[in-house]
Amino acid sequence: MKKGIIKPPRLKQGDTVGVVAPAGAFERDPFDRGVAALETMGFQVKVPEGIFAQKTYLAGSDEHRAKLLTALFKDPAVQAIFCVRGGYGSARILPLLDFEEIAAHSKIFVGFSDITILLAAFYHKFGLVTFHGPLVTTLGKSSEKTREALLNAITSDQPAIRTPAEPVVLHPGYASGPVLGGNLTNICHLIGTPYEPDFNGALLLLEDRGESPYRIDRMLCHLRLSGRLKDIAGVVLGSFKECGDIDIVYDIVKDNLADRDIPILAGFEIGHDTENLTVPIGLQATLNTEMGLLSFDEAATKAI
pLDDT value at residue 304? 81
CATH value at residue 39: 3.40.50.10740
* Residue 6, in any domain of the structure: no
Residue 165 shares a structural domain with residue 119: no
Q: What percent of the chain has pLDDT over 70?
A: 99
Residue 109 shares a structural domain with residue 136: yes
Summarize pLDDT for 176-190 with one digit per residue, the tens: 999 999 999 999 999
Output the average pLDDT for the chain.
Answer: 97
Residue 269 shares a structural domain with residue 185: yes
Nearest to 181 by CA among 218, 215, 206, 216: 206
Residue 202 shares a structural domain with residue 288: yes
* Residue 9, in any domain of the structure: no
The residue-averaged pLDDT of 238-264 equals: 97
* Residue 210, in any domain of the structure: yes
Distance CA(304)–CA(302), nearest Å, equals: 6
* Number of domain units in the chain: 2
Residue 151 shares a structural domain with residue 272: no
Residue 184 shares a structural domain with residue 92: no
Summarize pLDDT for 68-80 with one digit per residue, the tens: 999 999 999 999 9
Nearest to 203 by CA among 229, 183, 223: 229
Residue 22 shares a structural domain with residue 139: yes
* Residue 56, in any domain of the structure: yes
* Residue 120, in any domain of the structure: yes
* Residue 175, in any domain of the structure: yes
Residue 100 shares a structural domain with residue 135: yes
Of 155, 177, 196, which residue constitutes the final position of a domain? 155
Residue 53 shares a structural domain with residue 76: yes
CATH value at residue 180: 3.50.30.60
* Residue 278, in any domain of the structure: yes
pLDDT higher than 60, residue 225: yes
- pTM value is 0.97
Domain that holds residue 109: 16-155
Q: Which band of pLDDT confidence, cut at 50, 70 and 90, is reported for residue 1? A: very low
Residue 249 shares a structural domain with residue 266: yes
Question: What is the DSSP track for 174-230?
Answer: EEEEEEEEEEHHHHHHHTTSTT----TT-EEEEEEES--HHHHHHHHHHHHHTTTTT
Summarize pLDDT for 120-160 with one digit per residue, the tens: 999 999 999 999 999 999 999 999 999 999 999 999 999 99
pLDDT value at residue 134? 98
Residue 145 shares a structural domain with residue 21: yes
Summarize pLDDT for 163-176 with one digit per residue, the tens: 998 999 999 999 99
Question: What is the DSSP track for 133-153?
Answer: ---HHHHTT--HHHHHHHHHH
Residue 175 shares a structural domain with residue 229: yes
* Residue 8, in any domain of the structure: no
Of 102, 120, 155, which residue constitutes the final position of a domain? 155
Is the CB of residue 175 less than 8 Å from the CB of residue 203? yes
Of 109, 130, 155, which residue constitutes the final position of a domain? 155
The residue-averaged pLDDT of 263-291 equals: 97
Residues known to be catalytic: 113, 207, 272
